[in-house]
């Protein structure tokens, strides 16, 4: 039986590391966290710290660069641009791993609830900016990387976000 996988996210390194139970690194991916820094407060646009889990996985069969608005597929980025569709400033693409905080008062409940804040690990149309803190609170990944990660992890996978 394979080890259960866990995700560790380093804000300082802008790196997501997938590890098994023995702390062996399975995969590493560069990421982009919030340009506003870290924090758990609602409407802060900051990346929350602490222990989380993947509550929902969205986009299983979506093509690469599928755009999600309100977690609903809208079409690929290329097609939407050809149709001159209005797109949000922070475009969510390819896959969504929706995080739920596990620490009451820190990232769960009230004004600090990561799930209610819609904190995701997701693909982006700004892949060239991966490795820099430029997101609006979520953890952005390159599209091929987020698809690969999505296929490797299950819901309830533990995610720890640290400075």
pLDDT digits 0-9 by tens, 67-76: 999 999 999 9
Judge contact between 28 and 148, C-beta under 8 A: no
Across the range 24-33, mean pLDDT stands at 97
pLDDT score recorded for residue 94: 98
**Nearest 5°: phi and psi at 151?**
-75, -20
Lowest mean pLDDT among 62-66, 82-86, 115-119, 159-163: 82-86
Place of tokens 């259960």: 4
Across the range 61-66, mean pLDDT stands at 96
CA dihedral 124→118→18→51, nearest 10 degrees, is 150
pLDDT score recorded for residue 134: 97
Report the share of the chain in percent with pLDDT over 90: 94
Note the pTM of the prediction, 2 decimals: 0.96
Across the range 86-114, mean pLDDT stands at 96
pLDDT score recorded for residue 68: 98
pLDDT score recorded for residue 8: 98
Judge contact between 39 and 50, C-beta under 8 A: no
Taking residue 56's Cβ as centre, other Cβ atoms within 10 Å add up to 13
Q: Tell me what the pLDDT averaged over the chain comes to.
A: 96
pLDDT score recorded for residue 2: 57
The DSSP element (H or E) to which 145 belongs, if any, is helix 143-152
Local confidence band at 89 (pLDDT 50, 70, 90 cut-offs):
confident
**Taking 80 as the threshold, does the pLDDT of residue 1 lie above it?**
no
């Amino acid at each position: 039986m394979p080890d259960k996988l866990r995700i560790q996210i380093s804000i300082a390194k802008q790196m997501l590391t997938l590890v098994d139970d023995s702390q062996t690194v399975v995969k590493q991916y560069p990421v982009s966290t919030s340009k506003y820094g870290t924090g758990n407060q609602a409407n802060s646009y900051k990346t929350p710290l602490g222990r989380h889990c993947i509550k929902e996985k969205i986009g299983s069969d979506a093509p690469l660069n599928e755009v999600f608005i309100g977690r609903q597929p809208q079409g690929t980025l290329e097609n939407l641009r050809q149709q001159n569709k209005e797109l949000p400033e922070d475009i969510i693409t390819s896959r969504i791993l929706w995080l739920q905080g596990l620490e009451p008062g820190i990232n769960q409940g009230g004004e600090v609830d990561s799930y209610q804040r819609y904190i995701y690990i997701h693909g982006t149309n700004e892949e060239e900016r991966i490795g820099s803190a430029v997101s609006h609170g979520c953890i952005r990944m390159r599209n091929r990387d987020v698809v690969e990660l999505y296929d490797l992890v299950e819901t309830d996978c533990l995610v720890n976000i640290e400075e």
